[in-house]
Structure 1
Amino acid sequence: MDDLRTLHRTLDLCLKVGEVLLSSGAGAPDVVATMRALARALGVRHTQVDVTFTSLAMSVQQGLDEPPVVQLRAVTQRDIDYEDLTRVDHLVRAVVAGEVDLEGARTELAAIVSSGHARPRWMATLGVGLMCGGVGLQLGGNAVVVLVAMLAAVCIDRLQLLMTRRRLPGFYQQVAGGVVATILAALGTRLAEPWVHLNASLVVTANIVMLLAGIGFVGAIQDALSGFFVTGGARVLEAVLATAGIIAGVSGGLSLCARIGLEIPRLALPRFDLVSVTSAAVGGGVAAAAFAFACYAPLRTLVPVGVLGGAAIAATELISEAGFGRPWAVGVAAFFIGLFGYTVGRRFRVPPLVVVVSAVVPLLPGLSIYRGLFLLSEESGQQVAQGLLAMVTAASVAIALASGVILGEYVAQPVMREARRVEARLAGPRLVGVTRVARRRRSRG
Structure 2
Amino acid sequence: MDLCLRIGELLLSSGAGAADVVATMTAVAHHLGLRQADVDVTFTALSMSYQSGPDEVPMLLMRHVRQRDIDYQDLTAVDHLVRDILTDRADLYLGRSRMATIVSLGHNLPRWGVTLAWAVMAAAVGLFLGGGAIVAVVASVSAVAIHRVQLFLGRRRLPFFYLQVAGGAIATLIAAGVAATAVEVDTSVVVTANIIMLLAGIGTMGAVQDALTGFYITAGARFIEAMMATAGIIAGVALGISLAEFAGAPLGLIEPGEAGELGDLPLIMVGAAVSAAAFSVACYAPWRGVVPIAALTAVAAAIQQGFAVNGFDRVTAAGAAAFFIGLVAYAVAGRVRVPPLVVAVPAIVPFLPGLSIYRGLSLLADGGAATSQGLLALVTAVSVAIALASGVILGEYVAQPLKREARKLEDRLAGPRLVGPFRALSRAERRALRREA
TM class, shorter-length: 0.7 to 0.9
Answer yes or no: is 1:315 the counterpart of 2:303: yes
Q: 1:378 to 1:28 in 2, by over 3 A?
A: closer
Deviation at 1:374, TM superposition (A): 7.8
| Match of residue 273, structure 2, among 258, 278, 285 | 285
Answer yes or no: is 1:126 the counterpart of 2:142: no
For structure 1, list consecutive stretches of 5 or more residues without a partner in the other structure.
Answer: 1-10, 422-435, 441-445
Does the 8 Å contact 2:230/2:357 carry over to 1?
Answer: no
Q: 1:222 to 1:392 in 2, by over 3 A?
A: closer
Deviation at 1:335, TM superposition (A): 1.7
State the partner residue of 2:331: 343
Answer yes or no: is 1:77 the counterpart of 2:72: no
Q: Distance in 1 between matches of 2:36 and 2:429?
A: 16
- Matching of residues 275-424 of structure 1 within 5 Å: 275-368=263-356, 386=373, 389-416=376-403
State the partner residue of 1:226: 213
Does the 8 Å contact 1:60/1:68 carry over to 2?
Answer: yes
Does the 8 Å contact 1:15/1:57 carry over to 2?
Answer: yes
| SS of equivalent residue, structure 1 residue 215 | coil
Does the 8 Å contact 2:208/2:385 carry over to 1?
Answer: no
Does the 8 Å contact 1:97/1:438 carry over to 2?
Answer: no
Q: Distance in 2 between matches of 1:385 and 1:61?
A: 54
Q: Give the TM-score normalised by the residue count of structure 2.
A: 0.86
Q: Distance in 2 between matches of 1:333 and 1:162?
A: 37
| Match of residue 30, structure 1, among 17, 20, 23 | 20
Deviation at 1:311, TM superposition (A): 2.0
Q: Distance in 2 between matches of 1:256 and 1:390?
A: 28
| SS of equivalent residue, structure 1 residue 307 | helix
Deviation at 1:398, TM superposition (A): 2.8
Does the 8 Å contact 1:128/1:153 carry over to 2?
Answer: yes
Does the 8 Å contact 1:371/1:387 carry over to 2?
Answer: yes
| Match of residue 93, structure 1, among 64, 79, 83 | 83
Q: Which amino acid aligns with 1:225?
A: L
State the partner residue of 2:423: none
| Match of residue 129, structure 2, among 115, 129, 139 | 139
The percentage of counterpart residues that share the same residue type is 57
Deviation at 1:212, TM superposition (A): 0.8
Answer yes or no: is 1:12 the counterpart of 2:2: yes
Q: 1:261 to 1:226 in 2, by over 3 A?
A: same
State the partner residue of 1:155: 145
Deviation at 1:78, TM superposition (A): 3.8
For structure 2, list consecutive stretches of 5 or more residues without a partner in the other structure.
Answer: 409-427, 433-437
Q: 1:227 to 1:365 in 2, by over 3 A?
A: closer
Q: Give the TM-score normalised by the residue count of structure 1.
A: 0.85
| SS of equivalent residue, structure 2 residue 180 | helix
Deviation at 1:202, TM superposition (A): 1.2
State the partner residue of 1:181: 171
Deviation at 1:17, TM superposition (A): 0.8
Does the 8 Å contact 2:187/2:254 carry over to 1?
Answer: no
Does the 8 Å contact 1:206/1:366 carry over to 2?
Answer: no
Please provide the CA RMSD for this pair: 2.6
Deviation at 1:84, TM superposition (A): 0.7
Q: Distance in 1 between matches of 2:387 and 2:15?
A: 18
| CA offsets 1:374-394 (integer angstroms, 9 cap, x no match) | 87899995x776565445433
Does the 8 Å contact 1:140/1:276 carry over to 2?
Answer: no
Does the 8 Å contact 2:120/2:275 carry over to 1?
Answer: yes
Q: Which amino acid aligns with 2:218?
A: T
Q: Which amino acid aligns with 1:98?
A: D
Deviation at 1:66, TM superposition (A): 1.4
Deviation at 1:300, TM superposition (A): 0.5
Count of residues in correspondence between the two structures: 410
Deviation at 1:112, TM superposition (A): 0.8
| Match of residue 262, structure 1, among 250, 262, 268 | 250
Deviation at 1:69, TM superposition (A): 2.0
| Match of residue 202, structure 1, among 189, 195, 215 | 189
Q: Distance in 2 between matches of 1:377 and 1:144?
A: 31
Deviation at 1:118, TM superposition (A): 2.3
| SS of equivalent residue, structure 2 residue 344 | helix
